[in-house]
Structure 1
């Protein structure tokens, strides 16, 4: 088959670079936008941060200072930021202050699960081969302390038998926190009980031999299988529930970062308003020095071409940030004006609201609203919420003209389950009947879906024997 080269003409719809940039900036949450603007200021010489200008103005030496420097040139031999002894305090106090600063740095730095385990493992006796295999297994633990990799592959990689690798893993499981290094939840609970010296207890027998029945909360079957009373089985199950299923989460280094909201609620005497949380957002502007170089007729042609390209890109970015802020503020104010009851009573007071309705009110396309609220949060009197959570689906009610949102249904389900008898939890069908008595018409499959979204177990798993 011969290869032929030919030319064809095609029409394609492509977005201009400034439009692509505007859509990308609109999508970014606050912290991501902050990092993006800082990186753009480093790459584009036509962009500069206003805060940097303010610092430069504060750090600029006065005329008298410059004159002093010319009269005493020997002062220039000192490195920047270094002071002479006459300008400092007592050197003994400096030593104490340095110790305090060192201690502050040590206490402020969080330690990760892997670092803690490696330090403990380094204090354990053993051969170099065992130490190497243990370090390999520790590096294969996930953030909650479970072994992600295959023990068989680790044994092959270390050149040892699988039984020896099992023995090394058992040593790791004796480290702190208890239960770390397990391959599943069952092994994690067993390791914690072994470390507590409870191998001969009923709780350990249940986990070791009847774990599926424990997960399903089958107390009568567990009592029959273990030859114990229902009260003893219930007490053993309560002991197991007090164990930590995710031992690695106890470390500060694994905590998620704090959420920085994009919008803030400003409470007023007569009405509430929405503000942009732009205090941490860099304020960018066109660099005057490079702009003068661009307008200078004596500037070389290739330099002018480069500066002109960067000038266009800087203008696109500044306009994109302005459009993002205006769009986000308009959407936030629209949401709060329509969901005013939410500020007083929480999510249960959310009214049915769609993105298309908000788009029509703020004069934007629904896709623009969808992109603008993605990943954005708002700080309200009820806590920090994603903007997506302020939208609610309308559930039609048989014979009722009043609109009911899915958030109201979820709140009613949560209230019913909180008030149920733990010995006789409500099934999905019973929840349907209770909601019908409240003039809320919901199908059973919808109840099951909302219950799963609320992380609520089925009735047979919520059952408790008191």
Structure 2
């Protein structure tokens, strides 16, 4: 059979994931902290982008692009002289067609306006704001706006656990080899204060006897805070008890059987430790006074509080007002005035190409940020509409909800809704919730009526167990019977799974604890 070469034309469709399209997708799933960091990087990289709050007051600020101050009126005059041909040229095209051609992607789902603004509209926008460019000045002693230097730069750094242990190691042993081994051990201690690597691995890595590593580790065990460098909870408690001179044989047996302590099997503990009931209760009280995580006093870094992306407030007429939290939305502007000056300055082709790329990227970013905000608001509003019973009556009335329901209601794809609800939080009169909290599985009702959400069933189980008395501890079967009486059809294994997810012990352990 002879092989031949043929030229065949085929027509097909494919999705081209350009960097700009990937950027727009990533913006949807960014948290407000990640979005702030991303926008800050773009501001540093793109000279045509600036923060809206950084735009100077036209009554107080002069433009300073070419190192000489000019009145705002002169800048506006230069802007007005830009010809229609300049603004519609390929180098600075901002209309939909040019952006699609340059970015290689479809913008029909992102842009609402197909028409490029005319120079007259740019001028109106320019005249309304007074100035669309920022004046950059600098000084060695203070910031450009005359504010005082940041005092936080002169505040002493907070001591962390690693530095605290290294200072003690310097006085603990004069041997440089032991200090080096101690440094490796300190590096292997996590934020909770436990040794995360095994002694055998550290000894093999340093090519030193295990006994010597153990000896240096025992020195670290004597450091402050007490219990530091332990390999497990039992060793951590034992170190602290030794320092208190309370690690007698009975206490040693108790620490060796922490699993029985967790189960509250006091009868077995009394038998193992050889003490009576009063002594075992005193020993357990002493164990509770110890610190199971000695490293947490120094912290593992700064804790960032959760800031809501959406705020929900009730209105007098009984409806709900849903709005975006503008404090976490970065506001950026495109500096068209600066782009016009570069065009008129007879710059080189390389400069014009660079500025064209920057202008297209800046326009794309501002459009993507606007689209992100609209999408978050649209999804959040639909969630509030679907879960109105939760906002009015509480968690027991949380409806079963999935991504498909929201996506069909607002005319978007499920993947878009999934990205929008990722790492986003909603502030409501009932507290702060992640958007994904409102999506729960459905549990059928006993009589075939409306289904119940899994979260509301968990709440009912928690409520039943909190209200049970010591004389009548509810088993999982009893909880199933009560739920079926409330028209909730659920299996026993599902109740056990929900109970374990709520970290509620079994009925046997609860009965022993309440006895």
| Cα deviation code 1:128-168 (max 9, x no counterpart) | 22222222211111121111112123334555432232232
| Cα deviation code 1:186-211 (max 9, x no counterpart) | 21222222222211163332113x34
**1:206/1:222 contact within 8 Å kept:** yes
Is 2:276 the partner of 1:274?
no
The 1:400/1:231 distance shift into structure 2, 3 A limit, reads: farther
Q: Structure 1 length as normaliser, TM-score?
A: 0.81
Q: Secondary structure at the match of 2:322?
A: strand
Q: Secondary structure at the match of 2:326?
A: coil
Q: By how many angstroms is 1:55 displaced?
A: 7.8
Which residue of structure 2 lines up, in the alignment, with residue 375 of structure 1?
A: 423
Equivalent-residue separation in structure 2 for 1:346 and 1:80 (angstroms): 57
The 1:401/1:285 distance shift into structure 2, 3 A limit, reads: same
Which residue of structure 1 lines up, in the alignment, with residue 53 of structure 2?
A: 51
Q: By how many angstroms is 1:335 displaced?
A: 1.5
Equivalent-residue separation in structure 1 for 2:337 and 2:24 (angstroms): 26
Which residue of structure 1 lines up, in the alignment, with residue 352 of structure 2?
A: 304
**2:191/2:300 contact within 8 Å kept:** no
Q: Structure 2 length as normaliser, TM-score?
A: 0.74
Q: What RMSD over aligned residues (CA atoms) do the two structures have, in Å?
A: 3.4
Q: By how many angstroms is 1:60 displaced?
A: 5.4
**1:151/1:162 contact within 8 Å kept:** yes
| Cα deviation code 1:95-119 (max 9, x no counterpart) | xx99xx689823xx43322222223
The 1:420/1:313 distance shift into structure 2, 3 A limit, reads: same
Q: Secondary structure at the match of 2:308?
A: coil
The structure 1 residue matched to 2:374, chosen from 295, 317, 326, is 326
The 1:397/1:15 distance shift into structure 2, 3 A limit, reads: same
The structure 2 residue matched to 1:23, chosen from 21, 25, 33, is 25
Q: By how many angstroms is 1:58 displaced?
A: 5.6
Q: Secondary structure at the match of 1:411?
A: helix
Mean Cα deviation higher: 340-349 or 305-314: 340-349
Equivalent-residue separation in structure 2 for 1:229 and 1:238 (angstroms): 15
Which residue of structure 1 lines up, in the alignment, with residue 36 of structure 2?
A: 34
Q: By how many angstroms is 1:51 displaced?
A: 2.3
Equivalent-residue separation in structure 2 for 1:39 and 1:248 (angstroms): 34
Q: By how many angstroms is 1:455 displaced?
A: 2.5
Which residue of structure 1 lines up, in the alignment, with residue 16 of structure 2?
A: 14
The 1:310/1:220 distance shift into structure 2, 3 A limit, reads: same
The 1:44/1:56 distance shift into structure 2, 3 A limit, reads: farther
| Cα deviation code 1:20-61 (max 9, x no counterpart) | 221111111111111101101111222222222238986659
Q: Secondary structure at the match of 2:193?
A: coil
**2:310/2:324 contact within 8 Å kept:** yes
Which residue of structure 1 lines up, in the alignment, with residue 340 of structure 2?
A: 292
**2:444/2:488 contact within 8 Å kept:** no
Equivalent-residue separation in structure 1 for 2:466 and 2:32 (angstroms): 36
Is 2:261 the partner of 1:214?
yes
The 1:350/1:124 distance shift into structure 2, 3 A limit, reads: same
**Larger helix percent:** 1
Equivalent-residue separation in structure 2 for 1:153 and 1:403 (angstroms): 54
Which residue of structure 2 lines up, in the alignment, with residue 257 of structure 1?
A: 304
The structure 1 residue matched to 2:228, chosen from 136, 158, 180, is 180
Equivalent-residue separation in structure 1 for 2:20 and 2:220 (angstroms): 55
**1:393/1:406 contact within 8 Å kept:** yes
Equivalent-residue separation in structure 2 for 1:189 and 1:44 (angstroms): 55
**2:172/2:219 contact within 8 Å kept:** no
Q: By how many angstroms is 1:375 displaced?
A: 1.0
Which residue of structure 2 lines up, in the alignment, with residue 224 of structure 1?
A: 271
Equivalent-residue separation in structure 2 for 1:298 and 1:102 (angstroms): 45
**1:202/1:233 contact within 8 Å kept:** no
Unaligned runs of 5+ in 1: 1-6, 67-77, 83-96
**Mapping of 1:237-252 within 5 angstroms?**
237-252=284-299
**1:359/1:369 contact within 8 Å kept:** yes
Q: Secondary structure at the match of 2:267?
A: helix
